[in-house]
Amino acid sequence: MFCYSLFHHSPPLITKWKPQLLFFKPNFKSQFSPLNFYPNQNFPHFFTKRISGYPIKSPAFSSSLEDEFDVELGRLLSLLPEEMRRRIREHEELRELIEVVMDIGRKPLARFPSGDFVLSDCPITVQDIEHATSQVGDFAIDNRAGISRTLHRISAIRNRKGTIIGLTCRVGRAISGSADLLRDLVQDGASLLLIGPPGVGKTTIIRDIARMLANDYKKRVMIVDTSNEIGGDGDIPHAGIGCARRMQVPDSDMQHKVLIEAVENHMPQVIVIDEIGTKLEAMAACTIAQRGIQLVATAHGVTIENLIMNPSLEILIGGIQSVTLGDDEANRRGVQKTVLERKGPSTFSCGVEIVSKTELRVHRCLEATVDAVLAGRFPRIEIRKMNSQGLEESSQTFTDISSDKEDLVVTGDLSETSDENSIGNHFPSDLSSKMADDSTEDRDLLHMYVYGIQEASVIQGLKKLKMDAAVQLTDNISEAGVLFALLSKLRKNSGIQAAAKSHKIPVYVAKTSSSMQITKALEALKDDYPYGLKNPGSENDMNILEKVDALEEARIAIEQVVIPKEEPVELLPRPTQIISLQTELIEKYQLQSEKIGKGSDVRLRILPFKLVKDEDKSSGEDANANDFENFEPYGANGSPHGVDRLPLLPD
């Protein structure tokens, strides 16, 4: 019936597409997809709409946006050989495709959220690269090209002679609603600076912001598109930017000139910039902000602190200068005489840290955030999340621990901390018992407050040491069980020191923010924690096995050595709770025991003497109890003793 309708209503169309119709099969779900049906870049959109009008139950036809994405994805896949196209279509995560990588002499890879997928067992040849490059636009100086009226980006790798030997074909998507979490800021006319690492979705968000400003709020929006990522390749911009206009940049070194040209020639109300990376571009953005134009831009980084430490981009947040204070002012502030301060007004009014595609950290007042970071205080942050239904899930605000630093008491002078003790040691030292007390109440989870170090670096270190199952980061220092900080930052912040002392929180410090130093400090934390920060799911099972081993060890030693041979036996080192159980078992056999060893080598020795009764027994128990009070159940580093099973002796 389907074929009859096509022949009856559109004979010219069938004549044109007759070679493709020869491959029709009854399996409509796999054959009538634009990805399979699409032969080249000139796929007619009217033919897609005609097919989508029939009741074919396929996710590709659920909406017009999905149809458009299928067509655009088909244009990208047309760069690949037939075998690679077939294998990538069969993948269950086709719609989540990230990019396709082709390098001469290597197997092609398709990258999905679940991992890499090999598209062919045959390595890529020169002919495959030439076939792909012939169907895309010209490569600019930045070695990027695109496919006309799509958001895909084709990046080239060249050899020393300039010949292309590899391609990275990245999938571009226009996701409507990706900027809904920022709608209130956009509506208020705030200038937004979006910060995030590569691949987190910065370009997708500012593209939707440009569409929102142009279509919903009827503003004159001009996009300065450095590498055609926002508006797509070709002279006609992609529909994802709505009514916004787009200016292409012929050379990335000229972006700052194009920014000024856009303001002077086209009278925009909003300027959208992607990837501000040089000092000239930052200065141009600062100039535009002084003219009363709303700015929306992105920059590479993880937190606002990265911009503060970036000499090329610090002008975006007002610039940083070193100021020498007088003695009275330094004493009043409780800081050193030389401090860092913001030089001038910030180019952007708001800052947004993109944690993931569904979570943002919003700094409503970027200047206040910069001032707080430079002063060693906690800035005001709003955490905004999007749930699976596309609705805003939560909006939480975290403020400074104390707004009045003069009321805080300094817990100690970290400047006197030696380099040997600066990593992994507590500050102050008398707080080490806090960790043991907390662990007995809640052994499953340790809440860590991070200060002066990027949370992403700490999380990476926790995963490396397999501590992520037992440690959870928190933004509330009052509920933290441990404070993990950068030594230089902690020395300058008396407020943090006072907060740690008032809440009796052990402090672990790293000398630098390098991964090696962070890992070293986390290893010290892991060793000092009484239960080793192991996976809480297996904690109970290990305790039971350890108790069984220890009691079996003591029983066999008593029945086969101490009693029949009347010889003393030394048991293996055990934690204090296990030693107590062994002592009870020894007393049931009416025998005596003594504690020997120090530190991690503390253990029991079973003596072949009868237990003293009555008065002597009670006095002996008191002495034994006093010994246990001075006994350290854990090693010098606080780690639990290892459990070695005693070989069973023959009956």
- Among 46-60, 384-398, 576-590, the minimum mean pLDDT is found in 46-60
| Mean pLDDT, range 181-193, rounded to an integer | 91
Q: How crowded is the C-beta side of 525, counted as CA atoms within 13 Å?
A: 32
Strand, helix or coil at 311?
coil
Strand, helix or coil at 111?
strand
Residue 27, pLDDT > 80, answer: no
293, 429, 296: which is closest to 350 by C-alpha? 296
Strand, helix or coil at 228?
coil
CB contact at 8 A, 484 and 508: yes
Query: Is the pLDDT higher at 351 or at 38?
Result: 351
Which residues share a beta bridge with 356? 359
Write the DSSP assignment of 534-593 as a string of letters.
--GGGHHHHHHHHHHHHHHHHHHHIIIIIHHH---EEPPP--HHHHHHHHHHHHHTTEEE
Please report, in angstroms and rounded to a whole number, the separation of the first and last CA atoms in the chain.
85
Query: What's the whole-number average pLDDT of the chain?
Result: 75
601, 549, 543: which is closest to 577 by C-alpha? 543
252 C-beta neighbours (distance < 10 Å), count: 16
CA dist., res. 119 & res. 130, Å (int)? 18
- Quick one: pLDDT at residue 200? 85
Could you give the maximum distance between any two Cα atoms of the chain, in Å? 113
- Among 49-53, 395-399, 455-459, the minimum mean pLDDT is found in 49-53
| Mean pLDDT, range 81-104, rounded to an integer | 92
Three-state secondary structure of 126-147: HHHHHHHHCCCCCCCCCCEEEC
CA dist., res. 239 & res. 402, Å (int)? 49
CB contact at 8 A, 643 and 545: yes
Residue with tokens 């000229």: 254
Three-state secondary structure of 448-512: EEEECCCHHHHHHHHHHCCCCCCEEECCCHHHCCEEEEEHHHHHHCHHHHHHHHHCCCCEEEECC
Which pLDDT band holds residue 390 (cuts at 50, 70, 90)?
low
The top-scoring range by mean pLDDT among 15-19, 133-137, 192-196, 324-328 is: 192-196
- Quick one: pLDDT at residue 467? 83
Residue 535, pLDDT > 50, answer: no
54 C-beta neighbours (distance < 10 Å), count: 13
pLDDT, tens digit, for every residue of 317-349? 999 888 888 888 777 777 777 888 899 899 999
CB contact at 8 A, 485 and 496: yes
- Quick one: pLDDT at residue 444? 59
The top-scoring range by mean pLDDT among 12-21, 225-234, 360-369, 419-428 is: 360-369
Burial string for 434-461 (b: 16+ CB within 10 Å, else e) reads bbbebbeeebeebbbbbbbbbeebbeeb
CB contact at 8 A, 568 and 562: yes
Rounded (10°) CA dihedral 221, 207, 185, 373: -120
Residues 6+ apart with CB under 8 A from 413: none
The H-or-E segment that residue 112 falls in is: strand 109-112
| Six-digit token string for 493 | 């912040």
Which residues share a beta bridge with 396? 383
CA dist., res. 69 & res. 262, Å (int)? 30
The H-or-E segment that residue 348 falls in is: none
- Among 42-51, 395-404, 431-440, the minimum mean pLDDT is found in 42-51
Sheet holding 144-146, edge to edge: 115-118, 109-112, 99-103, 164-170, 153-158, 144-146
pTM: 0.54
| Six-digit token string for 204 | 């997708």
- Quick one: pLDDT at residue 393? 59
19, 62, 10, 9: which is closest to 40 by C-alpha? 19
CA dist., res. 358 & res. 108, Å (int)? 30
DSSP secondary structure code for residue 201 in this structure: S
Residue 34, pLDDT > 70, answer: no
Which pLDDT band holds residue 43 (cuts at 50, 70, 90)?
very low
pLDDT, tens digit, for every residue of 541-565? 446 777 888 888 888 889 888 888 8
Query: Is the pLDDT higher at 432 or at 569?
Result: 569
Q: Is the torsion defined by CA of 421, 425, 426, 430 positive or negative?
A: negative
Give, to the nearest 10 degrees, the angle between helix 539-557 and helix 576-588: 40
Residue 125, pLDDT > 60, answer: yes
